[in-house]
A and B are shown apart, each in its own frame.
Chain A
Amino acid sequence: MTMNQIPLVEVTDLKVYFKGSAGILKSRDIKAVDGVSFTISKGETLGIAGESGSGKSTLARSLIGINKPTSGSIAINGTQISSFKNSALRPIRKKLQMVFQDPYDSLDPRFTIFESISEGLQIRNLAKSEIKDEIANLLQTVKLPVSLASRYPKELSGGQRQRVAIARALATKPDLIICDEAVAALDVSVRAQILNLLQDIQQESGISYLFISHDLSTLRYISKNVAIMYAGKIVEIGSSDNVLTHPQHPYTKALISAVPNISGKRGTKIKSVGEPPDPANLPGGCAFNVRCHDVLPQCSIETPKLLLNLNDSKVACHATANNRNSDSSKGGELHV
C-alpha cells in the first residue's frame, strides 16, 4: 500500500449500532459494526469474510449511506462523507455503487433493462441520444447483447441479471463498487464468468472493489487484500496471501480449516465450538474468547488491538501477540 497517497476509501473506527430491546423500557445497542478501520486504494480489491451476522453487510450498507454510522468516519478521496446530509451526499454517493446478492430482487421487475440502467445515468445529465449510446456501451462492457435492453428482468437468467446490475452500477462511473455476496447466488461456472468480468473491468478502468463474501476461495481469487470480520470487528487484515495462507488469528485459522481440502491432505482441523455470539450481548474482552481454542486469561478481560504482525498483516489477538516472540510459524501449514 502506498503510504504517501490519499487512499480512495478510508474508513476510520466506524461504528454502526442498532437499537435493540432488552425487556420492557430497556434498550441495548446491537453492535453490528464496532470500530472498523481500513483503506482501499485505487484499482485495488479488498475482500471481507466472516460468518453471517458478523457485520459485513451492515458495513457495506453504511458505506453507501443506507445505514447511518453511529460514529467514526468514512472518507472518499479525502472527503468526509459520514457527517453529510442526504442531499449533500448525493453527488458523492455515485462514487460508491453496490452490486447486491440477489439478482432476482435488485432489478425493479417493472423496469426494462434499458430503464434500469438509465437510472444510473440520470445523475450524469446526459442527452437522450447519449443515453442510448452509453447504455449500449455499458451492455457491451458487461458482455451482454444490446438487444436485451428492451427485456424485463424476468426474461433474463441470474448471471445475465447480475451483469445488468453491474452495468447499472458502472453507469454512474463509480470509483468503488461494493459487491455484497454478489456471486453467492450464482452457480459455479457463472460465478467464475462474473468474477472474470469484474477483473476485466478493473484492469480496464482502474476501479476498486470491496468484495464481501463468505467464500474464501472467491476472495482469494479476486482480492489483493482480505479482512476477516468477527462480531462487528476486523480480527485480521492483510494481503490475501498472508491472511489466507498463513492465518494468525485463531478465528481465521478455524474459518480456513473449515474449507474442504481438495488435495485430500488432512491438516490439523481447528474447530471453533459453539455459535456466533449475540451481537446485543457480546462477551467481554475479545468476542471470540468463548469459542477460541487458544484462549488466555486476559482474553475475557481486555479487547485485543489490531497490531501489525511480522508478515505485514494486522491481527487482533492476545495469543498471537504473545506467540510472536516465541514461535511465529504456528498455523503456517494450513491451506485453502
Chain B
Amino acid sequence: MSKNDKPISDFKNSFEEIESALESTNFRSRAWGSLKADKVAFASVAVVIFLILVAIFAPFFAPKDPLFQYIDGLSDVGAPQGLGRHFLLGADQSGRDVLSRLIYGARVSLTVGIVATALASFIGVMIGAVSGYLGGWVESFLMRLTDIVLAFPILLFCIALIAVTGPSTKNVVLVIAFAYWTYLARIIRSQVLSLKEREFVIAARSLGLTTPQIIRRHIIPHLIPTIIVYSTLGVATSILIEASLSFLGIGVPLPQASWGEMISEGQKYFQTAPWLLVAPGVTMIIAVLAFNLMGDWLTDLFDTSAMGVKR
C-alpha cells in the first residue's frame, strides 16, 4: 500500500505505472499464482486434466481392448483373474481387462458429466438471467416451469424420461441436462434480481450503456463465479447420476463400459473378485472429489473480496 501514501499533490502522469499495474492484475497470472500456493487445488486440477487427457486418448492409454473377452482373463474354473502382469487391475467376469474398461469408461462418464452440465448451465443461465432481468409475466411463467421440474426427485425424473426416450448415451446426457438446469436457473435469477438494483448497474445505465452492454459487462461477470463453481460441482453430480442410471441398468447401454455399469456388474462378484467393485469405485471417488475441490479453488479465485489483493 506504499503507493497509496503518496501525497495527493504528486500528480505524475506516469502511464507506465498504470500499464504495469493493470498487467499485474491479469487474471491468468493470478490464477497461476494461487494454484502454485495451494497444493490441494493444484492436485485437483492436475487430476481433472489427467482424467480428461486419458478420456480423449483412451486408445493410447488402454493396454487392451475393453470389449474383447480374453480367454486367459478367466481361470480354469471360470473365475476372473486377479491383479497381475497381464491384467493390471484384474479381469472381469467375462475376461475383459478392467483397466481398459475403466479408461474407456472415463470417456463416457466425463462426456456425460461435462456435456450434460454445460447444457444444463446454458439453459439455467439463460432462463435465470432472462426472468431475473425482465421480470413481469415472463418471470412468473419461467419460474413456475422451474418449480414444476424441481418438484420431481431428480433420479426419479431421469428414470421416467429414460423410460420414454430409451437408454442411449445421447439420451442420458439430455435427460440429466433437462433435470438439472433448474437449480442454476433459480440461483442466477436471484442474483440478477439483486444485481440489477445495484448502484453501479444504475450508474452504467445513466452513463448511456446499452442493455446488452450492461448485461455483458456488469451482470454476467458477477455471475461467472457462480456459474463456474456450480458447474464444476454439477459435473460431479452428473457423473454420479449417470452412474446411478447405469447401475440401475438404464444408463449407457451394454457392452459399452461406464463406471456406473462396472460397479453395478462388479457388486455381484464382490466376495470373490473385490477389484471389480473397488477399481471403478475408487476411480469415481477420485474424479468426483477432484471436480469438487477444483470447484472450491475456483470459488476462492473468483471471490471479489480477494480482488486486487497483492499476493
Contacts and interface: CB of A to CB of B under 8 A. Distances in A.
Nearest to B202: A66
Interface string A138-163: 00100111111111101100000000
A314 interface: no
A119 B209 contact: yes
Given A108-B218, A109-B307, A112-B22, A146 B209 contact: no
Given A65-B206, A172-B207, A136 B13 contact: yes
B203 A98 contact: yes
A107 B200 contact: yes
A69 B221 CA distance: 31
- Chain B contact residues, majority secondary structure: helix
Interface stretch (A32-40, A87-95, A226-234, A258-266): A87-95
A105 interface: yes
A10 B46 CA distance: 64
Contacts of A313: none
B207 A94 contact: yes
Interface in A72-128: 86-87, 90-91, 93-94, 96-98, 100-102, 105-110, 112, 114, 119-120, 122-123
A122 B209 CA distance: 9
A49 interface: no
B307 A110 contact: yes
A132 B3 contact: no
A64 interface: yes
Most buried by A among B24, B208, B210: B208
B268 to A, nearest CB: 53
Contacts, number: 111
Given A94-B208, A150-B22, A154-B305, A100 B6 contact: no
Contact of B308 (A100, A107, A154, A165): A154
Contacts of A106: 199-200, 203
Contact of B17 (A91, A120, A147): A147
Contacts of B271: none
A246 interface: no
Contacts of B205: 64-66
B76 interface: no
Contacts of A15: none
A146 B208 contact: no
Contact of B11 (A90, A140, A152): A140
A155 B1 CA distance: 9
Contact of A119 (B8, B14, B15, B204): B204
A79 to B, nearest CB: 15
Interface in A22-66: 61, 64-66
A155 B4 contact: yes
Contacts of A249: none
B203 A168 contact: yes
B207 to A, nearest CB: 5
Given A150-B25, A154-B305, A144 B8 contact: yes
B308 A151 contact: yes
Chain A interface residue number, banded? 35 or more
Interface string B183-224: 000000000000000111011111111110000011001100
Interface string B1-29: 10110101011111101100110110000
Contacts of B308: 112, 151-152, 154-155
A154 B25 CA distance: 14
A146 B18 contact: yes
A154 to B, nearest CB: 6
Most buried by A among B3, B6, B200: B200
B206 A66 contact: yes
B304 interface: yes
Contacts of A136: 13, 15
A237 B236 CA distance: 64
A90 B203 contact: no
Contacts of B14: 146-147
B127 to A, nearest CB: 24
B8 A145 contact: yes
Most buried by A among B13, B203, B218: B203
Contact of A105 (B200, B210, B218): B200
Contacts of A94: 207-208
B206 A119 contact: no
A87 B205 CA distance: 11
Contacts of A150: 17-18, 21-22, 24-25
A86 B206 CA distance: 11
Interface of B: 1, 3-4, 6, 8, 10-15, 17-18, 21-22, 24-25, 198-200, 202-211, 217-218, 221-222, 304-305, 307-308
Given A106-B200, A132-B15, A168-B203, 11 more contacts: A65-B205, A93-B208, A114-B22, A119-B209, A136-B13, A146-B14, A146-B17, A149-B21, A150-B17, A154-B308, A168-B207
30 contacts: A65-B205, A65-B206, A87-B210, A90-B208, A93-B206, A94-B207, A94-B208, A96-B206, A98-B206, A105-B198, A105-B200, A106-B203, A108-B200, A108-B217, A109-B304, A110-B304, A112-B25, A112-B308, A114-B22, A119-B217, A140-B11, A146-B11, A147-B21, A150-B24, A152-B308, A154-B308, A155-B4, A165-B203, A172-B207, A172-B208
